[in-house]
Amino acid sequence: MLHGQVGLFSSESTSPKDYHYSERLSIVNRGRTVEHSVRIGNYSIAVWLIKPGREAEFVSAWHDFAAWTAHAGMGAFEGTLVQDIDEPRRFFCFWPFESDESIRRWRTDPRFREFMMRMRAYCENCQPSISRTVGYVDSRTAELLWAEQ
């Protein structure tokens, strides 16, 4: 049983299109209540394939970009950069945002373009996207807690 599902949506609307970044939910499973933070929202996601031997430079450039993004006040929450273990030249970057509009505003900022040019100098390919959460499963209960209908 899930308590607090209304909290998944904006207080102004009950539409799943009005996402919040994180909500605290009380999940009741087999008589036990577990508090869980659910990340629901819009994401900027990119897949980067880096030129051989340029991985450290790319990570350094991404760090500078992440620091700027964190302080820019454009609706971004914490960013994550992960490296593929089997293909160490491939990186995945994802940033949760308040809305897809804030992602678009962030991407049109001149500083964003400067950082992208710097990072792209180290890469063979970049595939950016604006994405949204459409489902969430709690790993402790394996229950589908939320999915967009």
Give tens-digit pLDDT for 119-143: 999 999 999 999 988 777 767 777 6
The residue extents of the domains of the chain are 2-40+133-147, 42-131
What's this model's pTM, rounded to 2 decimal places?
0.71
Task: Give, in words, the CATH class of 42-131.
Answer: alpha beta
- Over 80: is that where the pLDDT of 112 sits? yes
Give tens-digit pLDDT for 15-43: 334 444 455 555 555 566 656 555 668 99
Q: Which of 74, 20, 66 is nearest to 42 (CA)?
A: 20
- pLDDT over 70, % of the chain: 67
Q: What gap in Å lies between CA 105 and CA 129, rounded to an integer?
A: 14
Query: H or E element: which one contains 114?
Result: helix 110-120
Q: What gap in Å lies between CA 60 and CA 58, rounded to an integer?
A: 5
Q: What gap in Å lies between CA 38 and CA 24, rounded to an integer?
A: 6
